[in-house]
Structure 1
Amino acid sequence: MNKKPIRLDFFRYILANVISSLGVSVYILIDTFFISRGMGSEGLAALNLSLPVFNFINGFGLMLGIGGGSKFSMLYCNTERKETDSVFSNSFICILGIAAIFEILGIFFSGQVTHLLGADEAVFDMSHSYIKRILLFSPAFLVNNHMACFMRNDSAPKLAMLGMLSGSLANVILDYVFIFPMDMGMEGAALATCISPFISIGVMSIHFITGWNAFRFRLIRPSLSVIKEIVSLGLHSFFSEVSGGVVIMIFNFVIYRISGNTGIAAYGVIANAAIVFSAIYAGIASGIQPLMCRYHGRSDISAIRYVLRLALRTAMIFSVFAYTAVFFCTSEIVGVFNSSGNPMLKSIAETGLHEYFLFMPFMGANTVLSVYFTSKEMSKQAQLISLLRGTILIIPLAFIAYMLRSMTGVWLTVPAAEMMTSFVGMSLLLITNRKAWAESLKPVPNIR
C-alpha cells in the first residue's frame, strides 16, 4: 500500500469538507451573534428553542444525501450509469416527499411546533416567527444538503465547499441588513437564513451546467429496495443530527426549570459554540466517507484502516487545541453573545463552557467510527453509536441532573454520554477487526 497518495487525498478531502461544514454552522452562529445584539437574552432564548427544527430538517437531508452518496460511490466504478442515476433519483424523490411534510407543518402547525419546543409567553412570538419561516423554506435546506453530499462523492468537494461558503457569506450580509438597518428583528434573521441555501444551490449547480456530474435525475418509479439501502447507509447521520435536536429540547426543558430563560440563553451560547466544533468533526467524517466507500468498493482493507487512523489522530489533535482555546478564552466567547452584560448569563455560560466542552475528544472518535462502520456497510454498529450518544444515554443522564437540580450535572451529561459511547465504539472496532483477522487465517479449501 502506497500511503502518500492516500494521505494527500485524505487532507484534500477533509480540508474542503471541514471548511464547508464550518460554513453551514455559520448560518446559526451569525444569527446568534446578531440576535444577541439586537434582541438580548430573550432573543437568544427564542433562537435556542428554535434550533431543533434545523436538526430535524438537516437530519433528513443528510440521511438521504450521505446514504445515497455512499451507495453512489460504492457503485460508481463497478456498474452502469443507470444504476447510479437510480440511487440519486430515489433519494431525491424521498427528499421531495419529506419537504412536503415540513411544508404542511409550516403552513398549518407552526404554532403547535413552537409550543412543543417549550416557548413560554415571553419568547413565543420571536420563536414562532423564526420557526415558521424555517419550516416553509425547508425544501431549500433539504436539497442543499442532498446536493452537497452527492457532489463530495462525485469528486467535487471544492465546488460543494464553495457553494456552502457562498450561502454562509450571503447569510452574514443579509442578517446585518435585515436585523439592523431594516429593523426586521427575528423575522429578518430567519429570512436571511432561508435565502442562504438558494445561493448555495445556485453555485453548486455549476456542477450540472458544465456537465461534470456523473449522476442525474431520471423520472422513475421509486424502488423500495433502493430507498431502504440508502436509508440504512445514512441512518447514523439522521440519528446523529436529530439526536442533537432532542438533546437541545431536553436541555431546554431541564435548564428552564432550574435557571429560567436566562439559563436557556446561556445554553444557547454554549450550544452555538458547540455547533462550530461539531462542524469540524462532521467535516472530517464527510471528508473520509467518500474515500472509505471507494476503498471498500475496491476491497482495499489496509487503505480503509489507514484512513481511519489518520482521521482519529486528526480529531484528537484538534480536540486538544480546541479545548485549550475554549478554556483560556471563555470570557471572550461569552462576551460576544452577552451584549447586555447580564451577570447571571455570564456566570452560567462560563462554567458551562468549561464542563460541557469536555465532550470533544470523545465526540470526534464517535463521529469518525460511525462513518467507518457505515462505509463498510455495517449499519447496525453505526446506528448503535448514534443512538447511544444521542438518546439512550443522554436522556436518563439529563433527567438525573434535573432531579438533582444541578447545572453541573446538566453540563456533564454530554461528555459522560460521549465517553461511554466511545468505549462501546472502540470495543466494536476491536471485535470486528479480530473477526476479520480470524477469517483471513482460515485455510483456503483445496478444490480439485
Structure 2
Amino acid sequence: MEKKILRKFAKYVSLNILGMIGLSCYILADTFFISKALGANGLAALNFSISIYCIIQGLGLMIGIGGATRYTILRSKNRDKEAKKVFSNALTIGLIVSFILAIIGLIFSRKLSQILGADTDTINMSNVYLKTILCFSPFFISNNILLAFIRNDGDPRLSMTGMIVGSLSNIILDYIFIFPLSMGMFGAAFATCLAPIISIGVLSIHFIKRRNNFKLELIKPNFKIVSKIISLGMSSFITEVSSGVVLMVFNLIILNISGNIGVAAYGIVANISLVIIAIFTGIAQGMQPLVSEGYGKKNKELMNGVLKYSIILSVFISIVIYIVANIFSKEIVAIFNSENIAELTMLAINGIKIYFVGFIFVGINIISAAFLSGTSNVKPAFMISMLRGFVLLIPIAYILANIYNMNGVWISFVVAELLTFIVSVWKLYADKKVMNNKDL
C-alpha cells in the first residue's frame, strides 16, 4: 500500500510542479524581457502591475481548486449526478467574475496604476500592462478552472502539458513582440494573455477524445454549490492573492525607502519568489486530488501518506533552493539588471540572502492549508492562509521597515512565515489527532 501511495503521489505531484513552474514563468519571462528592453523603470512598472495579475490568478485558483475538490469528494462517494453539476457552476461563476474584471480594466486601469504606486516615469507602462491583462481575465480564470478539473478527472499529464505549452508560448511570443516587433510593454502583456488561450486549446483534447466525466451545461448558478466551491477554494485564493497584496504593500514601503530602484530590486526577488512558491503550490495541488479521494473514501492511510511525502519533499526543495540562491545570487540578479546598476545589484543580492530563508517555512504552510482544505477543514486552512498573507506580514513589514529599512522589509517575510509555521504545525497535529480518533 505504501509503494502504491508513493507512486500516485510522485505522478500527481511531479506533473503539477512542472506545470506550476510553467504557469509562474508567465511573469518571470516578462520580467526578463522587460528588464532587457525597458530597464529599471520597466521592471518597476511591471512590479506595480503583478499584484493585480495575482488577484486574477487567485480567483481562477479559488474557483478551480474549490470546484475540483468538491467534484472529487462527491465522485469518491459515488454521488456522480451531484458531481457533474459542480463544473458548470464553477465555470459560470468564473466567467461572471472575469467579465467584471475586464470592465474594471477598460475603465479604471490608469487610476488603479496610480493607487498601486506608479509615478510619472512608470504610469504609462503600468497602465498598458494592467489594462491588457484585466481585459483577458476570462481566459486566465477559465484556464485555471479547466486545469484543476482535468487534473482531478484523472488526467494530470494533460493538465501539465497545457501549463507547459502555454508557458513556452509566452516566452517565444514575449521575445517576438518585444524585440523584432518593438511592441514594448503591450507586447509583454499581450504575450502573457495569449498563453492561457493556447493552454485552453491543449486542454480541449480532454473533451475531444471524450475522456471527460464532466461537461458544461447551461444552468443558473446554484448558491449552495457556489458557496461550497468558494469555501473549499478560499485557502488557494488567499495563498495566491497574498502574493499580490504583499507586492502592493512592499512596493509602497520600498518607494519611501529606496525609490524606483528599490522597487526594481524587489521586483527581481519577488518574481523569482513567485516561481519558488509555484513549486510548493504544485506540491499542494498535486496532493489535493489524492487527499480529497482519501477523505471521500475514508482512507486515512492514503491521506497520512500523501501528507508525509509532501512535507518531506517541501523541506528538501526549500533547502536546495536556499543553498543554490545564496551561491549564485550575483549571477541571478545580473540576468535581470541589464543596465548594470550597482545599487540595484546590492539591494537584490541582499534581498535574496535574507528573504529566501522564509521558504524553509513557506512550503509547509502552503501544504498544511491545502491538506486541511482537501479534507473539508475550511476554517483552519483559511486561518493559515490569512496569517501568512495578511494578518502577520503587513504589520510586521511596516514595523521592521521603520527600524531596519530595506533589511526590515526582507526580514518581515521570514518572521511572518515562521510564526505561521508554528500555527500550521499545531493545526495539522490537532486535525490528525481528531482524524485518527473518529470514523471519517
| TM-score normalized by the length of structure 2 | 0.98
Tell me whether 247-256 or 299-308 shows the greater mean CA deviation: 299-308
Letter of the 1:256 partner, please give it.
L
Helix, strand or coil: the match of 1:109? helix
**Which position in structure 2 is the counterpart of 1:443?**
none
Partner of 1:326: 325
Q: For residue 140 of structure 1, what is the amino acid of its counterpart?
A: F
Question: 1:430 Cα deviation (Å)?
Answer: 1.7
For 2:349, the equivalent position in structure 1 comes to 350
Q: Does 1:265 align with 2:264?
A: yes
Q: Provide the C-alpha distance between the structure 2 equivalents of 1:304 and 1:412, rounded to a whole number of angstroms.
A: 34
**Structure 2 equivalent of residue 42 of structure 1:** 41
Q: In structure 2, what residue type is equivalent to 1:65?
A: G
Query: Aligned partner of 1:243: which letter?
Result: S
Q: Distance in 1 between matches of 2:96 and 2:361?
A: 35
Letter aligned with residue 308 of structure 1: L
Alignment of 1:235-314 (within 5 A): 235-314=234-313
Instruction: Return the alpha-carbon distance in structure 2 between the equivalents of residues 9 and 114 of structure 1.
Output: 44
Does the CA contact (< 8 Å) of 1:85 and 1:218 recur in 2? Answer: no
| Contact 1:258/1:405 (8 A) holds in 2 | no
Q: Specify the code of the residue in structure 2 equivalent to 1:205.
A: S
Equivalent residue runs for 1:361-400 within 5 Å:
361-400=360-399
Match of 1:66 in 2: 65
Q: Residues of 1 paired with 2:400 and 2:124: CA distance?
A: 30
Give, in angstroms, the shift of residue 239 of structure 1: 0.8
Decide whether aligned partners of structure 1 residues 177 and 438 sit closer, same or farther in structure 2, where only a CA change above 3 A counts.
closer
CA distance in 2, matches of 1:381, 1:96: 29
Distance of 1:89 and 1:424 partners within structure 2: 36
2:23–2:164 contact (8 Å) kept in structure 1: yes
What is the rounded CA distance, in whole Å, between the counterparts of 2:300 and 2:205 in structure 1?
Answer: 35
Name the structure 2 match of 1:99: 98
Verify the 8 A CA contact 2:87 2:215 in the aligned structure 1.
Answer: yes
Q: Which has the larger radius of gyration?
A: 1
Asked if the contact 1:398/1:410 (under 8 Å) is kept, the reply is: yes
Is 1:79 the counterpart of 2:78? The answer is yes
Assess if the C-alpha contact under 8 Å between 2:47 and 2:263 holds in 1: yes
Residue 210 in 1 paired to residue 220 in 2?
no
Contact preservation (8 Å) 1:152, 1:160: yes
Amino acid at match of 2:71: F
Cα deviations by residue, 1:60-117 (Å, 9 ceiling, x for unpaired): 1000000000010111133354311211111111101101110110111111111111
CA positional deviation for 1:414: 1.0
- 2:340 is equivalent to residue 341 of structure 1: yes
2-structure distance, mates of 1:400, 1:337: 29
- Report the alpha carbon displacement of residue 402 of structure 1 after superposing the two structures with TM: 3.3
Specify the code of the residue in structure 1 equivalent to 2:53. F
> What secondary structure does 1:340 align onto?
coil
- Whole-angstrom CA distance in 2 between matches of 1:73 and 1:127: 40
Q: Structure 1 runs of 4+ off > 6 angstroms?
A: none
Q: Deviations over 1:319-365 (max 9, x none)?
A: 11111000000000000000110000000000000000011110000
Distance 1:406 1:83 in 2: 54
The 1:434–1:77 alpha-carbon spacing in structure 2 relative to 1, beyond 3 Å, is closer
- 1:438 shift after superposition: 4.7
Within-5 A mapping of 1:173-212: 173-212=172-211
Residue type of the alignment partner of 2:83: T
Q: 2:53 matched to which residue of 1? A: 54
Whole-Å Cα distance in 2 between the matches of residues 166 and 329 of structure 1? 28
Residue of structure 2 equivalent to 1:143: 142
The total of aligned residue pairs comes to 439
- Aligned partners of 1:439, 1:98: CA distance in 2, in Å? 39
Structure 1 counterpart of 2:145, one-letter code: H
Deviates more, 1:390-399 or 1:76-85: 76-85
Secondary structure in 2 matching 1:215: coil
Where 1:181 maps in the other structure, the secondary structure is: coil
* 1:220 and 2:219 correspond: yes
8 Å contact kept, 2:51–2:244: yes
Output the CA distance in 2 between the equivalents of 1:80 and 1:406: 56
Query: Separation in 2 of the partners of 1:181 and 1:218?
Result: 43
Matched, 1:128 2:130: no
Compute the RMSD of aligned alpha carbons. 1.1
Percent of aligned pairs with the same amino acid: 42
1:10 alignment partner in structure 2: 9
In structure 1, distance between residues paired with 2:4 and 2:313: 17
What amino acid is the match of 1:268?
A: G
Whole-Å separation in 1 of the counterparts to 2:438 and 2:192: 51
Per the TM alignment, residue 421 of structure 1 is displaced from its structure 2 partner at its CA by 0.4
In structure 2, list runs of 5 or more residues that go unmatched: none
What is the DSSP-based 3-state SS (H/G/I as helix, E as strand, rest coil) of the residue aligned with 2:248?
Answer: helix
Structure 1: which 5+ runs fail to align? 441-448
For 1:437 and 1:198, the matched residues in 2 are separated by: 44
Q: Cα distance, 1:439 vs. partner?
A: 4.5
- Alpha-carbon distance between aligned partners in 2 of 1:99 and 1:345, rounded to the nearest angstrom: 36
